[in-house]
Structure 1
Amino acid sequence: MSSSYSTGRGFKSGLAISLGIFGAGLPQTGLVAFGLGEIMQTMPKVALAVKVIGVCYLLWLGGNLIRTWYKHTQSIINAQANQLKP
């Protein structure tokens, strides 16, 4: 992912995404190392909260994707309509 991003957007963007992925991986590794799975097994409410937060995040990502697609589609339709005007 980072190599294709770098190819399309340049070195600085590729470096930024690589550092972002690395930065996200550190807390995940720490949580696993310190027993997040154990906590989630002994505290079902925490597990449910993590799942709900994950669902909300995925819904937010999906909503942004649909909104971006819709705006892009509308801009193409408007551009084509403007070309057809006499």
Structure 2
Amino acid sequence: MNKQELVRELATRLSLSQKNVKHLVETTLEEITLIMEEDESYSQTGFGSFKAEVKNERITYNPAYRKKMLLPKKKKVHFRPSTILKGKINE
């Protein structure tokens, strides 16, 4: 399922226009993104939590060039599903 399909499904379920639902979905995703950019975590009870984790710079080997190279520091997003979500998926 992609974002457009999600918007269509929510609009049908909630009896709202696709335009309003699309705005709501985009605003929600933007807000979660802003939270992640500030190095904070986001939790949704019954669904799971998102956390931005900083990976320090490190030296790695590039086999294509047969040289060591420095990978810069970067952020990585982790999602941890709740036990409720895990239970529903595994039913």
Q: Flag whether TM exceeds 0.5 (same fold).
A: no
- Whichever structure has more helix as a proportion of its residues is 1
Task: Tell me: higher relative CO, structure 1 or 2? Use CA pairs within 8 A at least 6 residues apart.
Answer: 2
The alignment's TM-score, normalised by the length of structure 1, stands at 0.39
Larger C-alpha radius of gyration, 1 or 2?
1
